[in-house]
Structure formats: C-alpha cells, structure tokens
Amino acid sequence: MRGAPRLLPRRQAPRWAELAVLWALLLAAAAAAAFIAVYALGADTQWLGLLLGLAFALLAVGSVVTGKALVPQEQKEEERRSLDHDMDDLDIAVYVQEADEGITRSRLLKSAAGAAGLTVVGALLVPLASCGPFLDVEQLRRMAWRRGRRLLDDAGRPLRADEIAVGAMVPAFAEGVDRKRLDASLIVVRLHEADLRLPRQREGWAPHGILAFSKICTHAGCAVSMFRYPLFSPKVPKPALVCPCHYSTFDPARGGKVIFGPAGRPLPQLPVTVDERGELRAAGRMSGPVGPSWWGVQEG
C-alpha cells in the first residue's frame, strides 16, 4: 500500500544464503530423480535408501537456511487491539511481499522449490507401482498353461502317465515356457481313484488318479515340496501336500483344499489329460491364480 508505513525494515538477503538454498533444492530434486531412475532399473535397495535420505536431508538444509537467513527475523510488541481479521490478512500479505523484496533470486528459488517438491513426491509415489500392474492388468490373467500343452519332467522329457506310481510325487514344467515363471512349475501326484473327492465341476481333471497342482504355496510363495502318503496304518493322516516353510497343508484328494496352516486358499489345480501316446497334457487353465494373495491369508 502506497504511503503506508513498512512492517519490515529494508534488507538484502545474503548472497551465500540464496545460493545455498538454490543448490540444496536443485540437489534434492536430482537425488529424488535419481531415486526414480534407480528404482526403475531395479538396483540395490541401499542405493534407494541413500538417495531418498539425501533428498530429504537437502530439503531440510534448504528449509533451515531459508528460515534462518532469507526470512526476516523481526520481533515487535504492540498493544492488543480489537480483532480485525481483514486488517490482519492485509498485514500478512504485506509482510510476505516485503520479505520477498530482499531476495534477488526469488523466482529462481521458487522454481527450484517446485521442482524439488515434485520430484520428491514422485519418488514417494513411484514405489506404489510395485503393488500391482496399474497399466497392464491383463498380465494377471495370463497363464503358462493352455489346453494341449505337454507336461515335461526335470530333464525336459514329456511326462508319461505310466511313469507315475500311486503315492509318488514328481515335478513338472510347461513345455515351451521359461521355468522361472511362477505358474510354469507343477507337482504331479497319483492317488487311488477311489480316494478322490474332487468338486463336481472338476470331473475328469484327474485321469487314473493323476493330479497336478501349482508348486507355489498360496501363503508366502514357497515351493510345496513335501508329499505325505501313508502306507500302512489306516489311522495315520491321509495324503497331503505340505509346504516346508510354514507347514501349510493341502488335500490333493479334495482339489488342493487347505487342511492346516496359514494358507488362505486352495492350491491351484491344473486339469490334465492323457493323450494317445500316454503323455500328460493340460486340459485347460488352472483353477485359480498362482502364488500368494495377502487378502486371503488367515489371521490368528
């Protein structure tokens, strides 16, 4: 306001303080941008922690220098008068305007602050992409198995039905699919057909008592590698697939149903068929998604 007394004495911000704040903000933006790049490249988490911590430290340095050297430090006392919010708001606006007058690089500092703020927020939001494929959700529905795909053994040979004895468990893999894929590996077991208690919609999924299940436990993603099969006493527990990590136990006779442990849903089953050469082939897709699902884990 022209003619109105100044609220703050005229002052010039120290050049070193302006440069210090500017460099702190620019370096903070660079560290946050480097965090995003390193995260996208899948680098070591120690670098991620170092870069994010450096970005926050530089922001803190810029804030401290701004508060101590750029913002005027003025203390005044006056008698209390009647509250006039409009006048108070005007005083604050004038105060901010006058405080900004002594900073020669005001626009540059604001731009640097905006860049640092955006990149740091971006660095905090980027890891959320790991929670799921936001842009390509179709990959959640893709499976290694389709009708007619053969089951291969460890040596890459077609798995034959007559090679699997009752009470045996053998590993299997999808033909033509990278074995590193979680849904490409199976465990194949054989039970007496009279012992099967599969759901009605799975009739024909287990020819000659041969059942195929995902090897990935639905609790924490460990490999289900143990097959309990009683041979003598009828009082021992019935056949079961067991994960050695947390002892989630699944009943193969009832389609991989959970009978013990923390797993929250059944082990996915693959329908299989035996072709004219006696080789095992997939008869369709798995009964459910492969791998753990945090929303299905039982509590307590």
Residue 5 in domain:
no
- 148 and 291 in a single domain? The answer is yes
Domain count, the chain: 2
Give residue for tokens 């303080």: 17
Residue 38 in domain:
yes
According to the model, what pLDDT value does residue 39 have? Answer: 82
* Residue 31 token pair: 């560290």
Q: Is the pTM of this model over 0.85?
A: no
Residue 68 in domain:
yes
Q: What is the CATH number of the domain that holds 224?
A: 2.102.10.10
Structural domain that includes position 244: 143-296
Sequential pLDDT tens for the chain (300 residues): 455 555 555 666 677 878 888 888 888 888 888 888 888 777 667 888 888 888 889 888 888 887 777 666 666 666 666 555 555 554 555 455 545 555 566 677 778 778 888 888 888 787 776 665 555 545 555 678 889 999 999 889 999 999 999 999 999 999 988 888 888 999 999 999 999 999 999 989 999 999 999 999 999 889 999 999 887 666 667 899 999 999 999 999 999 999 999 998 999 999 999 999 999 999 998 888 888 865 444 443
Cα separation, 95 vs 82, whole angstroms: 20
- 195 and 118 in a single domain? The answer is no
- 126 and 147 in a single domain? The answer is no
According to the model, what pLDDT value does residue 128 have? Answer: 73
Residue 136 in domain:
no
* Residue 65 token pair: 């220098």
- 206 and 291 in a single domain? The answer is yes
Residue 267 in domain:
yes
According to the model, what pLDDT value does residue 296 have? Answer: 46
- 117 and 152 in a single domain? The answer is no
User: Do residues 252 and 259 touch, judged by C-beta distance below 8 A?
Assistant: no
- 224 and 109 in a single domain? The answer is no
According to the model, what pLDDT value does residue 21 have? Answer: 81
Cα separation, 55 vs 49, whole angstroms: 10
Give residue for tokens 């989630």: 248
- 185 and 206 in a single domain? The answer is yes
DSSP the chain: -TTSPPSS------HHHHHHHHHHHHHHHHHHHHHHHHHHHT--HHHHHHHHHHHHHHHHHHHHHIIIIIS-------------HHHHHHHHHHHHHHHHHT-TTHHHHHHHHHHHHHHHHHHHHGGGGGGS-SS-GGGGG--S--TTPBEE-TTSPBPBGGG--TT-EEEEEETTS-TTSGGGEEEEEE--GGG----GGGTTSSGGGEEEEESB-TTT--B--EEE---S-TTSPPPEEE-TTT--EEEGGGTSEEEESS--SPPPEE-EEE-TTSBEEE-S--SS--S--GGGPPP-
According to the model, what pLDDT value does residue 299 have? Answer: 42
- 233 and 254 in a single domain? The answer is yes
Residue 137 in domain:
no
Residue 212 in domain:
yes
According to the model, what pLDDT value does residue 36 have? Answer: 85
User: Do residues 77 and 57 touch, judged by C-beta distance below 8 A?
Assistant: no
- 147 and 62 in a single domain? The answer is no
- 71 and 46 in a single domain? The answer is yes
- 150 and 212 in a single domain? The answer is yes
Residue 10 in domain:
no
